[in-house]
Amino acid sequence: MQEERNPYTRHTTRHRGITFRERADGSKVFSIRWEGTRVSKRPGSSEPFTTEKEALDYQAELRLAAGKGEKIVVNSKLTFSELAESWLEAKAPRLRPRTLDYYRSALGLVLLPRFGRLKVAQVDVEAIAKLIRDLEREGLHAIDPARQVKPLGQASVTNYVLKPLQGILDLAVRRRLIAANPIGTLTRDERPAQAVKAPPHEWTQAEIDELIAAAEWLARQPEARADYAPLLRLTVRLGLRLGEVLGLTWANFDREGGYLHVRRQWCRHGEYGPTKTKAGERSIPLPNDLRAELAALRLQSTFSTDEDPIFASRNGTPLSHRNVTRRGFEAARDRAGLDGSLSFHDLRHAAASRLIHEGHSPVVVARLLGHSDPSMTLRVYAHCYEGATVEEQIRQALAGGASS
């Protein structure tokens, strides 16, 4: 009579640390002994080692990682919440304050409520794909039913949810909690749908004049708290980002040399910080009329020392992003009867498109805007360059036809 196999009996092999047991059907399951823990499958995988070679290969990977000094966790019960906390703590000192706020918000509003109690290996590609679909369809309502249904766009899902999730799961891979980051296996259909982005608004000079006139009219009203017209005039000419405008102090204005030096920005959390990119640090040669206007503005200002902001609040601090956007730009935009979809950032596009239509090269426009590479300028403003070129070619073609 054939002896019945005991599926719980473990057999040794000629390789130290590797054993196997036989299933009732005669197949084998191999295991690795690592620092007191028995491992019979790769972290994040549901398939056990069914051959000695699979177990040997994984054992070799563990030894190699240990030799490099990497922290190794196998067969762990670590939750996503615990790993996320560890990731953010290590990442925080190197993040911009605003980015850190975004990541904390993403964790608190989305990732921890959805995945926090799960083991890290349970946050698989199916769970991530479902999260993306839920956010695109319902927004935060999918996480918290008390919130209204407000679908999130591609940029929000990618930058503020998937980006920190990618970092957390990369850490899981490094700690060998999972074999690979499941975000990398999302199909195109499962990833956030790419929105069709409309080209930036091409301002006419009449629209710019109407905007500035409206801002000047608003500044003359008894209830006005600030005159935003000088700030709007400077922005629409130089193409500065809002944080860069608010980060300017009088020390950045070189009246004699005729330069405006952009060295930092005023951040939304109320502190000075570096420019968005290294290329954002730039010195802009000022035309005579802007140089004269800034000089006159300094003479009029209550806050005119080198340390004072050029555009100061009543308390001498930089104006707030919110007030400039709502009381400054949007109020003037609406007063002028311009398209309600226009934002303060569109003033940056106004400066760029004006230079392009005047025939200036991408190098000049990139220098003004603080782009790191003229190719970036071409990508963003290709429609302006192509439009100007085509129109000129049409003029030349028609002129040639008239002379024949």
Q: Are residues 136 and 249 in the same domain?
A: no
Higher pLDDT, 403 or 204: 204
Write the CATH number for 362.
1.10.443.10
Residues 291 and 379 in one domain: yes
CB count in 10 Å sphere of residue 35: 10
- What share of the chain has pLDDT > 70, as a percent? 88
Angstrom distance (rounded) from CA 217 to CA 257: 32
Structural domain boundaries, residue 157: 80-185
Contact 242, 248 (CB under 8 A): no
Alpha-carbon span 273 to 267, nearest angstrom: 6
Does the residue 324 lie in any domain?
Answer: yes
In the prediction, which pLDDT does 402 show? 53
The encoded tokens of residue 132 equal 């993306």
* Residues 101 and 235 both lie in one domain: no
pLDDT of residue 334: 97
- Residues 168, 276: one domain? no
pLDDT of amino acid 390: 53
Pairing status of strand 18-22 against strand 10-12: antiparallel
Does 374 or 51 have the greater pLDDT score?
Answer: 51
Q: What is the pLDDT of residues 230-261, one digit of tens each?
A: 999 999 999 999 999 999 999 999 999 999 99
Q: 84 in a domain, yes or no?
A: yes
128 shares its domain with 237 = no
Give rounded-to-5 percent helix, strand, coil for the chain. Answer: 50, 10, 40
How many C-beta neighbours within 10 Å does residue 239 have?
22
Structure letter (DSSP) for residue 271: S
Are both 245 and 288 inside the same structural domain? yes
**Tens digits of residue pLDDT in 19-49:** 998 888 889 999 988 866 778 887 767 788 9
The CATH number given to whatever domain includes residue 100 is 1.10.150
140 and 238 in a common domain: no
Q: Is residue 353 part of a domain?
A: yes
What one-character-per-residue DSSP string does 63-111 give?
HHHHHTT-----S---BHHHHHHHHHHHHGGGS-HHHHHHHHHHIIIII
Q: Is residue 399 part of a domain?
A: no
Nearest to 110 by CA among 37, 161, 178: 161
Q: What pTM was estimated for this model as a whole?
A: 0.62
Residue 195: inside a domain, yes or no?
no
Could you tell me if 273 and 170 lie in one domain? no
Q: Is residue 137 part of a domain?
A: yes
pLDDT digits 0-9 by tens, 308-319: 999 999 999 999
Same-domain check for residues 224 and 168 = no
Q: What integer pLDDT is reported at residue 97 of this predicted model?
A: 82
Mean pLDDT of 159-178: 91
Q: Are residues 140 and 236 in the same domain?
A: no
Domain count, the chain: 3
Q: Classify residue 404: in a domain, yes or no.
A: no
Tokens 């000094």 sit on residue: 69
How large is the average pLDDT for residues 74-103?
A: 84
For residue 79, is pLDDT > 90?
A: no
Q: Does residue 74 fall inside a structural domain?
A: no
Phi-psi region of 176 (alpha: psi -120 to 50; beta: other; left: phi over 0): left
Single-letter code of the amino acid located at 122: Q
